[in-house]
Structure 1
Amino acid sequence: MSNYRFILSGGGTGGHIYPAIAIANELKQRHPNAEFLFVGAQDRMEMEKVPQAGYNIRGLWISGIQRKLTLSNLMFPFKLMSSLWKSKSILKEFKPHVAIGTGGFASGPLLKMASEKNIPCVLQEQNSFPGITNKWLSKKVEKIFVAYDKLERFFPSEKIVKTGNPVRQDLLEIQGKEEKGKRFFKLKENRKTLFVMGGSLGARRINQLVEKELNFFKENNVQIIWQCGKLYYEEYKKYESEMIKVNAFINDMNLAYAAADFIISRAGAISVSELAIVAKPTFFIPSPNVAEDHQTKNASAVAEKNAAILLKENKLDEVFENTFLSVFNSEEKQKELSGNFKKLALPNATKTIVDEIEKLLKTA
């Protein structure tokens, strides 16, 4: 029987949404007659991104707890009760065979109610330091799919399955696309290329760094694909030139990765997993403004294995040029970083996760 019903919940950021969509796509490929329903937070980006991917979504009135006293915090108990009640009603109506949580506030109430109804539940944790929702749910689920080692500090060890993070499938085939990538971005084939990525909205501190170092890059004959983010495009588009390609957003990420010789990136969990597959010399500049500083922890886990360079935001002005040149001028260092990063890649994550979910279907 493949008329299964799968309910998925994860959101707030792309790092929670895209893994859920990747898992749904793999399940749909294996079970074309299956039904899917996503549950998200009603005012967050999943309400737009999930329908774009072709799936139905229901919204809960839920948000996270702020670190200071706010009206939103005072409303939290009411939002939680409302979300638990609505989750119960959604589950009763949809009757899923499995519930899949990928982190974010909305997955908390949904998976709590699903576990109480004895529906098999699984979690996918993208980061090396789990979010509050997944930590709270970990005792209530059958399996927890992780991308990093040492997560038994936070989760019951017998439930952990190291799978890696689901990533875009087109990244698995960037070999041999370097010329195509450089043509696509109108770059010179004989120049070294730096790809700077700061997420879809952009990263202010990374953009400031690139702007400050434009002469440095020019002196070293480095051309740049600069994904500055839609919040900053108007500010930085004036730098567009033969050597600098300024983009608000890049849809063809596989071509940007293929064209790159070096990469500067934030250290969100999905970016780290993608970059391990790409395996180009990478400089991580983690955002210090995320929950529990998990980007620094993600980047540290890679840098400790000599697979990437970690640069702290507050030290950039002092160390960036020398650090960049130490890699740029050494083919040996480039090969070492790439080789070590490649060893950390888990390119079959989505398939492995779905294999594990299918085992639960057989026992359900």
Structure 2
Amino acid sequence: MERCDVRVLIAGGGTGGHLTPVLATAQALRRADPDGEVIVVGRSGGVAERLVTDAGIQLETLDISGVDVSDPRSVARMLVRLPSSTRSARKLLKRMRPDVVVGGGGYVCVPVVAAARLQRTPVVLMEQNAYPGRATRLLARSARVVATSFADTRRHLPHARTVLTGNPIRPEVRALAPAALVSRCTRVFVTGGSQGARRINRAMTGCVHALLMEYPDLQVTHQCGTLDSEHVAAVAHALPPSLRSRYTVEAFFDDIGARMAAADLVVMRAGGSSLAECSALGRPMILVPYPYAGGHQAHNVAPYVAGGAAVAIEDAACTPERLMAEIRAILDDAARWRSMAEASRRLGRPDAADRVVELIEQVAREHATRTA
């Protein structure tokens, strides 16, 4: 099979976290194979509709809802829509005739991978978390290979073939030049993701005044999300002018990758995409894993803490006092801070999208040989 003949359908993006590696992989495929064909399948009305089309990637949508397994009504809605979504996916596969179907995680990929199995189209799965999500666990046996972001994922998928590729990151983040390490840590970036994280927000606002008073050259940039934006803005406004100028607050930054690259230390949750981008930029981290959604972020944290790139704080323990103590410990120890940055850089896999593309092309070639 010639590279220019490869047709790939990528399904995923039920959430923004799942969409980031899906879109990064689609863009990498386009760069590697400009004459090939790439289509992303997302949920009708979901986040993919704007982001994928803005990136110039062809988008198809399915009428499928998310599922909360703790809510019987949510499960019922998903089960009702699944047969229809699978039929729609089969029609799409028959029209496109992809060489490979890629499942990017999340509930959106379930009907598409099910349709691919029925039509004997080879499947590659991508898993961004250390402990695989429900969709990956359900579909792994039917995949030719699962591209993993963490080495530990392999033991949770004993009956599947796995390849450690890393988690694909956005090309605009990969292209960034991270700020050089100077004499010590003076720039802290705090984020709870696009929606914010109340625990992190309240801990940060509870200690920011004391931190700025204690460290006259400290700059704090805080993405707080919309939920707490009024509270965080009020805290910033109440600071004395000399401190307020060193505390930059917004509900959301469009250039979050650049903000991360410019930081000396990042305080955040432990989603797979955020960890992949932060480590690709070689930034030290204080991580507060999200305690819900099966606790998967606690698994994500482990290799970064063990590797010396991060400090972890349990969500319930993330008080202003604890967060200030962890930040202060890094600000006061330049050698430790530089060591954390180097460890983060070693753990980063900025070429993950290219590795996933190579895997997709390998599966396409193997399938073409078998069916020739």
Same fold (TM over 0.5): yes
Amino acid at match of 2:186: K
Q: Is 2:243 aligned against 1:247?
A: no
Q: 3-state DSSP class of the match of 2:101?
A: strand
Pick one of 276, 288, 298 that aligns with 1:285. 288
Pick one of 346, 358, 361 that aligns with 2:361. 358
CA contact (8 A) 1:5 1:96 kept: yes
Q: How does 1:1-364 map to 2 (within 5 A)?
A: 1=2, 2-156=4-158, 159-175=161-177, 177=179, 192-221=186-215, 222-238=218-234, 239=236, 241-289=244-292, 291-317=293-319, 318-363=321-366, 364=368
**How far off its partner does 1:113 sit?**
1.3
CA contact (8 A) 1:178 1:255 kept: no
Cα deviation, 1:161-194, whole Å, max 9, x if unaligned, reads 1010111234345446569xxxxxxxxx998111
Cα deviation, 1:73-113, whole Å, max 9, x if unaligned, reads 22332111111111111111221111111101010110121
Amino acid at match of 2:291: P
* Aligned-partner Cα distance in 2 for 1:17–1:281: 25
Query: Quick one: percent identity of the two aligned structures?
Result: 28
CA contact (8 A) 2:21 2:170 kept: no
Greater Cα shift, 98-107 or 41-50: 41-50
In structure 1, runs of 5+ residues without a counterpart are 180-188
Match of 1:182 in 2: none
CA contact (8 A) 1:27 1:354 kept: yes
Match of 2:241 in 1: none
Cα deviation, 1:343-364, whole Å, max 9, x if unaligned, reads 2111211111111111122222
Cα deviation, 1:305-334, whole Å, max 9, x if unaligned, reads 222000112112252222222221111211
* Aligned-partner Cα distance in 2 for 1:359–1:91: 20
Amino acid at match of 1:96: P
* Aligned-partner Cα distance in 2 for 1:71–1:343: 45
Amino acid at match of 2:209: N
Structure 1's 44 and 176: CA in aligned 2 closer, same or farther, altered over 3 A? closer
* Aligned-partner Cα distance in 2 for 1:56–1:280: 34
Structure 1's 157 and 164: CA in aligned 2 closer, same or farther, altered over 3 A? farther
Amino acid at match of 1:237: A
* Aligned-partner Cα distance in 1 for 2:359–2:71: 41
Greater Cα shift, 84-93 or 137-146: 84-93
Amino acid at match of 2:252: F
Give the alignment's TM-score, normalised by structure 1: 0.90
Greater Cα shift, 118-127 or 225-234: 225-234
**How far off its partner does 1:245 sit?**
0.8
Match of 1:184 in 2: none
Structure 1's 312 and 357: CA in aligned 2 closer, same or farther, altered over 3 A? same
**How far off its partner does 1:262 sit?**
1.4
* Aligned-partner Cα distance in 2 for 1:33–1:235: 50
* Aligned-partner Cα distance in 2 for 1:278–1:29: 22
Amino acid at match of 1:219: M
Structure 1's 169 and 68: CA in aligned 2 closer, same or farther, altered over 3 A? closer
Match of 1:183 in 2: none
Amino acid at match of 2:190: V
CA contact (8 A) 2:185 2:264 kept: no
RMSD of Structure 2 on Structure 1 (CA):
2.2
CA contact (8 A) 1:146 1:160 kept: yes
Q: 3-state DSSP class of the match of 1:11?
A: coil
Q: 3-state DSSP class of the match of 2:67?
A: coil
* Aligned-partner Cα distance in 1 for 2:200–2:221: 13
